[in-house]
């Protein structure tokens, strides 16, 4: 079975994507931006973190449902 159709692999991949989004917003961006750590982290969380997380959750849920359906067939 392809990894693209393995529900466990799909779920793990999207958890990693979401973790990467939040690591960028809370760790990487504040370190490389001017301004206080808290203000940059808050701005990036509002601008990037929430929107990208929602998008990743949506795409991940659709992909997971398709993978689950294909793996049962």
14-70 pLDDT, tens digit each: 999 999 999 999 999 999 999 999 999 999 999 999 999 999 999 999 998 988 888
Domain of residue 67: give its range.
3-72
Let me know if 17 is exposed, middle or buried by CB neighbors in 10 A (0-12, 13-18, 19+): middle
Helices (H), 1-73: 7-23, 29-32, 37-44, 50-72
pLDDT of residue 68: 85
What pTM was estimated for this model as a whole?
A: 0.85
Residue 49 is predicted with a pLDDT of: 96
What total of structural domains would you count in the chain?
1
d(C-alpha 24, C-alpha 69), whole Å: 33
Separation of alpha carbons 10 and 52, rounded Å: 17
Q: Give ∠ CA 4-9-15 in degrees, rounded to 5.
A: 120
């Amino acid at each position: 079975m392809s990894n693209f159709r393995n529900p466990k692999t799909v779920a793990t991949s999207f958890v990693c994507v979401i973790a990467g989004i939040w690591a960028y917003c809370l760790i990487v961006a504040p370190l490389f931006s001017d301004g206080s750590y808290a203000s940059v982290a808050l701005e990036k969380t509002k601008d990037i973190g929430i929107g990208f997380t929602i998008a990743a959750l949506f795409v991940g849920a659709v992909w997971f449902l398709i993978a689950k359906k294909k793996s049962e067939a």
